[in-house]
Amino acid sequence: MPRIYVLRWGHRPKRDKRLTTHAALTARALGASGFILADIKDPKIEQTIKKVVQQWGGSFHFQMGIPWKTVVKEWKAKNGIVVHLTAYGENIQTSNVLQRIKTTGKNVLVIIGSKKVPREFFSPKISDFNVAIGNQPHSECSSLAVFLDRYFEGKELTKKFENAKIRIIPQKHGKKTTKS
Beta bridge partners of 111: 7, 84
pLDDT for the residue numbered 60: 98
pLDDT in tens, 81-111: 999 999 999 999 999 999 999 999 999 999 9
- List the 108-113 sheet strands across, edge first: 61-66, 34-38, 4-9, 108-113, 81-91, 129-132
Number of domains comprising the chain? 1
Q: Provide the domain limits for residue 133.
A: 4-179
- For the domain that residue 148 is a member of, what is the CATH number? 3.40.1280.10
> Which amino acid, one-letter code, is at 103?
T
Judge contact between 42 and 20, C-beta under 8 A.
Answer: yes
Give every residue of the chain whose pLDDT is below 70, as ranges.
Answer: none
How far apart are the C-alpha atoms of 60 and 34, rounded to whole Å? 5
